Amino acid sequence: MSQFTLITGGSRSGKSSFAELLAAHSASPNLPVTYIATAQIWDEEMASRVKKHQLQRPAAWQLIEEPLNIRETLLKLKNDEGVILLDCVTLWLTNLLLAEQPEQTHQAGQTTPQFDQSIYEQIEVKILTIVQEAAIIAQEIKPIVIFVTNEVGQGIVPENPLSRAYRDLAGRCNQALAKKAGRVYWVIAGLPMEIKKPAETLLSSLHKER
C-alpha cells in the first residue's frame, strides 16, 4: 500500500492537529519529520496563523518553507527515512495560481489579479498536471508522506470569477491527490474519519451493478 496519506476537511476542522499527531505517531520512535510549509506571509493575520502552527508542532521537526516547488522538494527527499508532512495543499494551489496570473496596476498603486477564462483554462491544465506529478512522487518515494488540504467548495458560491476558478481547481486537485493516496481522512469537528476504503468498496459495488 502507498505510504501517501491525504487529510481533508473544512476550515478549523482540526486537520492540521490530526496530521501532526499522525506524523508524530508514524515517525516514532526514531524517524525524523520534515514539515513542508507552503504559506507565504503577506500580512499580520497570516503571520499570526503561521506563529500558532509553529508553536503547536515539535521544535525538533525539520522545516522547509516552499510555496511553489513541491515536486522538486519531494524529489530531494525521496530517499530519506522518516515522515514528510505538507501543510497545506490549498495554499500551494493559491501560490501556483497567482504566480501564473497577469497583474493590473491601479492608480492607487495596488495590484489585483486579472481574470481571463481562456488563459485560466490553460493555467488549470498546467497546475493540475503539476499536482498529479506531485501525487505520483508522494505515492512512490521512500518516506511516509502526509498532505493536508481543504474542502473549499462547501460554502457559498464565490462572487468573483477568479475565486470560482480557484474553488474548481482545488476540487479537481483534491480528487487527483485522493486517487493516488493510500489513505484519505476527512476531519470534521476535530474527529477524523477514514473515507477511501469505504468509498472504494461502494464504487466497486456500483460498477458491478452496471
| Residues 89-118: tens digit of each pLDDT | 999 999 999 888 765 433 444 455 566 777
Per the domain annotation, does 199 fall within a domain?
no
pLDDT digits over 119-176, tens only?
A: 888 999 999 999 999 999 999 999 999 999 999 988 788 888 888 989 999 999 999 9
Per the domain annotation, does 132 fall within a domain?
yes
Please report, for the domain that includes residue 66, its CATH number.
Answer: 3.40.50.300
Beta-bridge partner residues of 86: 36, 147
| 37 has binding-site annotation | yes
Per the domain annotation, does 195 fall within a domain?
no
Per the domain annotation, does 14 fall within a domain?
no
| 12 has binding-site annotation | yes
| Structural domain range at position 92 | 35-102+112-190
pTM listed for this prediction: 0.88
How far is residue 82's CA from residue 137's CA, in Å, rounded to a whole number? Answer: 15
Q: Chain centroid to CA 145: how far?
A: 12
CA-closest candidate to residue 3, choices 87, 92, 84: 84
How far is residue 178's CA from residue 169's CA, in Å, rounded to a whole number? Answer: 14
Backbone angles phi, psi at 172, to 5 degrees: -70, -40
Q: What is the CA radius of gyration of the chain?
A: 18
| 38 has binding-site annotation | yes
> Can you read off the three cell numbers belonging to residue 11?
476550515
**Count of domains forming the chain:** 1
Per the domain annotation, does 20 fall within a domain?
no
The enclosing H or E element of 42 equals none
Looking at the chain, the whole-number percentage of residues with pLDDT higher than 90 is: 61
Active-site residues, by number, are 53
User: Side chain identity at 121, as an amino acid letter?
Assistant: E
Q: Between vectors from CA 60 to CA 55 and to CA 65, what angle results, nearest 5°?
A: 70
> Can you read off the three cell numbers belonging to residue 85?
508532512
Bridge-based pairing of strands 111-113 and 103-105 is antiparallel
Q: Is the peptide bond before 161 cis (omega within 30 degrees of 0)?
A: no
| 87 has binding-site annotation | yes
pLDDT band at 1 (very low <50, low <70, confident <90, very high): low
Give Cβ neighbours of residue 210 (< 8 Å, ≥ 6 apart).
Answer: none
DSSP assignment letter at 29 = T
Per the domain annotation, does 43 fall within a domain?
yes
